[in-house]
Amino acid sequence: MPEPPAAMLSYITLGANDMRASERFYTALLVPLGYRKQVDPEGLTFALPAPGGGSGPCVVYVKPPFDGRPATVGNGSMTAFRTGSHDSVRQVHAAAIAAGGSDEGAPGFRAAYSKDFFVAYVRDPVGNKIALFCNDPAAVQG
């Protein structure tokens, strides 16, 4: 098996105050994108399957902060997930809102980034900003 690149993003951890609300939200957001969910005593793990087994790149951990203080939003931070189509952006955005998220920007093109950048924004139950995007010019616009 080849060595991964030295600077590959491996995981992100997002703090949660209400694990039930966060589980509902992140299940609605990540499972349709191909992530598998695992629940353990520390919180939630969402991982993409890797070829040959194990976890793929960018595992998402959702758990209470280790220091015991409340989870808060990182001002200016955002996590973005690439999808395969514009319809996927729309569907996952709607599912995330239905699962307790809040709309931070309806699905649509954002020409300021590029003519093909189709994106939607949502906030999780803590207030973390999440982007769902597709920038493939061949993607179905639906």
Tens digit of pLDDT for each residue in 119-128? 999 999 999 9
pLDDT higher than threshold 70 for residue 54:
no
Amino acid letter at 71? A
- With bands split at pLDDT 50, 70 and 90, how would you rate the model's confidence at 141? low
Report which residue type is found at 124.
Answer: D
In whole angstroms, give the CA distance from residue 67 to residue 142.
45
81: pLDDT strictly greater than 80:
yes
Q: What is the CATH number of domain 11-65+72-134?
A: 3.10.180.10
Residue closest to 136 by CA, chosen among 120, 123, 109, 118: 118
> Residue 104: what pLDDT?
96
